[in-house]
Structure 1
Amino acid sequence: MRIIRYREGASFKLAALTDAEEIFSLEEPDFISLVQRAAQDGISVTEKVKRIIESSQALNKEIHQLDLIVPLEAPEIWAAGVTYMRSKEARNDEAADGDRQGPTYYDKVYDADRPELFMKSTAARTAGPGGEVCLRSDSSWQVPEPELGLVLDRNGSILGYTIGNDMSCRDIEGENPLYLPQAKIWRQSCSIGPAIRLADTVEDPYDLQISCRIYRGGQKVVDETASTSQLKRGLGELVAYLAKDNILFDGTVLLTGTCIVPPGQFTLEPGDRIEIDITGIGTLTNIAVPA
């Protein structure tokens, strides 16, 4: 069961998309309202959706006919770093400066008890499916980072999973780790979507395939795949550190790190089309444009 949001005229609609591709109106303005209504009723979001579906008829629409938008206006989007071996290797490549002596910061955080967590985006900085992601004007080495996103409630429970694109400036982060906020946060430097897969309907979140394809001028220039089975840290572990002495909001999203890094010195260019797939969620597509 997936939750989608789409534009119809001047209105935004929330709907459920079944595995049979049937679409049901959820009669709520947004996902956060659905979460809060379910909490008021003392039931899970999945149970709330099932009850709505049982008492209504499917819409006479197909998913390709809908103008999909960001599935929720996430009040905050956080991200975890260096949670995959491939990510650690890429960060070390970025920061290479002569002969390294001993472990780097990235080696240490990969093995540490405490994960790397940072603020990534807010609703105003986040694009949705089909939207534009921006290329920072002072970077010459920028890539998408395909990630599994956790959609949380205020108590830190995982309500669902979405796809995240954590746009990153590899040159800025590699120059100095203190530049991380500038390497990660700018206008439309993040996208999520196209749906939220309800957590109760995912058999094993550690068995999801992630794919990333990048097209330039109609030609495929990047085609990489990975699996969440390669995660170094547990999802609950990441959430626990995020929630510790912190305030979570209904609809907070936590991106769980990437295991896909485009090869060599590849950098995005304006007009590049980025497609990210995750099993059972769908395909998040964005176009890169100048900031």
Structure 2
Amino acid sequence: MKLIKYLGRDGRETVGILSERQGIVPLRFETGHVKSLADLLELDEILPTIDFLRDDNNAVSLDAVKLLPPIDQQEVWAAGVTYKRSKAARMEESEAAASCYDRVYVSPRPELFLKATPHRVVGHGGAIRIRSDSCWNVPEPELTLVMNSRMRLVGMTVGNDVSSRDIEGENPLYLPQAKVYNESCSLGPCICLIESMPPREEIQIRLRVVRGKETVYQGSTAISEMARTFEDLIHWLGRDNSFPCGVMLMTGTGIVPDREFTMMSGDHVEIDIDGIGTLRNSVVQG
């Protein structure tokens, strides 16, 4: 089951389910205690509630609506150095901090940081931004966990943790500036409920960057390459921390372009994750 957020015919934010046969089937939130996507994700029995709320008579085509990022008021956090390839890349970009990245890869405590608040997030079809004061910018395709306020893993989505590698490489204390700014995060196109996801060891992630008509970068990785489990990351994120609206957690990247590659304004980035779908974004210069 896939949940999607979009602008309805009346211009209001609407939540629906993706149906191969019907397109988007909206959910009726006008009555009852479920008023938002976050409310729905709080329920113990999500699927029966969806069956009750679905409005099959008002299904719309996916091509006829503007998709929104599948987020309400949740914070977006991210984990770093969770793949061996990511560890090597971070050590290469910052000689001064190489030992830090090497140690955190094997440390019980993971690297976790606040990536975005909702106003910094764009959805499928939107434009991600590269900083005006950076000359080395990369997409970071990441499987993103969706938790409710009780830190229960309820779904997954596709995430892009856009990063300025030259800024972070100059000094690791610049990480917030390299990672957290307007349109530095994209999520979508939907949330796949956890019951509908394939086994973790079978999930593949694929990245493609298109410039004009040419593919200038592509790569792939697998969740089985992660050095940490989802449960471990969720445990550390929730330690001495609360998320009244729920939280989303990007789980790190195992796809790292070579030093010679940087995103450019006008590029198109595609991230595909098994079980969820493909997140597509254009690139603009800040």
* TM-score for the superposition, normalised by structure 1: 0.90
The structural deviation recorded for 1:60 is 4.1
Distance 2:121 2:209 in 1: 20
Output the CA distance in 2 between the equivalents of 1:153 and 1:220: 37
Match of 2:32 in 1: none
Structure 1 position 25, deviation (Å): 1.6
> Which residue is equivalent to 1:115?
110
Q: Which amino acid aligns with 1:23?
A: I
Question: Alignment RMSD, CA only?
Answer: 1.8
Residue number in structure 1 paired with 2:266: 271
Q: State how far apart, in whole Å, the 2-side matches of 1:130 and 1:44 are.
A: 31
Q: Which residue of 2 aligns with 1:229?
A: 224
Write the deviation string for residues 3-44 of structure 1: whole angstroms up to 9, x where unpaired: 0111124212110114656532211353113234x3xxxx32
1:150 partner SS: strand
Structure 2 vs 1, CA of residues 229 and 58 (structure 1 numbering), >3 Å: closer, same or farther?
farther
Distance in 2 (CA, whole Å) between partners of 1:62 and 1:178 is 46
What letter matches 2:134 in structure 1? Answer: S
**Secondary structure of 1:206 counterpart:** helix
**Over 4 Å off, 4+ runs:** 19-22
| 2:25 counterpart of 1:30 | no
Match in the other structure for 1:78: 77
**CA contact 2:197–2:276 (8 Å) conserved in 1:** no
Q: Establish whether residue 260 from structure 1 lines up as the match of residue 255 from structure 2.
A: yes
What is the aligned partner in structure 1 of residue 238 from structure 2? 243
CA offsets 1:131-152 (integer angstroms, 9 cap, x no match): 1111111111100100000111
Counting matched residue pairs gives 280
Q: Gaps spanning 5+ residues in structure 1: where?
A: none
Aligned residue number for residue 178 of structure 1? 173
CA distance in 1, matches of 2:89, 2:58: 46
Note the C-alpha offset of 1:188.
0.8
Distance verdict in 2 for CA 1:225–1:82, change over 3 Å: same
TM superposition shift of 1:203: 3.4
Cα distance, 1:131–1:244 mapped onto 2, change above 3 Å: same
The code of the aligned residue for 1:50 comes to D
Q: Give the equivalent residue in structure 2 for 1:46.
A: 47
Query: Where in structure 2 are the equivalents of 1:203-218 lying within 5 Å?
Result: 203-218=198-213
Rounded Cα–Cα distance in structure 1 between residues aligned with 2:57 and 2:143: 29
| DSSP 3-state at the match of 2:56 | coil
Work out whether residues 163 and 192 of structure 1, in 8 Å CA contact, stay in contact via their aligned partners in 2: yes
Partners of 2:79 and 2:4 in 1: how far apart? 25
**Residue 172 to residue 247, structure 1, CA distance change in 2 (3 Å):** same
Matched with 2:14 is: 13
Tell me whether 1:201 sits opposite 2:196 in the alignment: yes
1:68-97 deviation digits (Å, cap 9, x = unpaired): 111222421000000000100110111136
Determine which of 146, 152, 161 is the counterpart of 1:166. Answer: 161
Tell me which amino acid in the other structure corresponds to 2:154. Answer: L
Counterpart mapping for 1:82-93 below 5 A: 82-93=81-92
Contact 2:198 2:274 in 1 (8 A): no
Q: Which amino acid aligns with 1:94?
A: E
Query: CA–CA distance in 2 between the matches of 1:23 and 1:280?
Result: 17
Q: Confirm or deny: 8 A CA contact 2:25 2:59 kept in the other structure.
A: no
- Structure 2 unpaired stretches of 5+: 30-34
Provide the TM-score with structure 2 as the length reference: 0.92
Cα distance change, pair 137–153 in 1 and its aligned pair in 2 (3 A): same
Q: Is the 8 A contact 2:163 2:179 kept in 1?
A: yes
CA–CA separation in structure 1 for the residues paired with 2:20 and 2:172: 43
Which AA in structure 1 matches 2:279?
A: L
Question: Which residue of 1 is the match for residue 93 of structure 2?
Answer: 94
Mapped partners of 1:259, 1:49: distance in 2: 34
- Whole-Å Cα distance in 2 between the matches of residues 219 and 47 of structure 1? 45
CA distance in 2, matches of 1:187, 1:251: 21
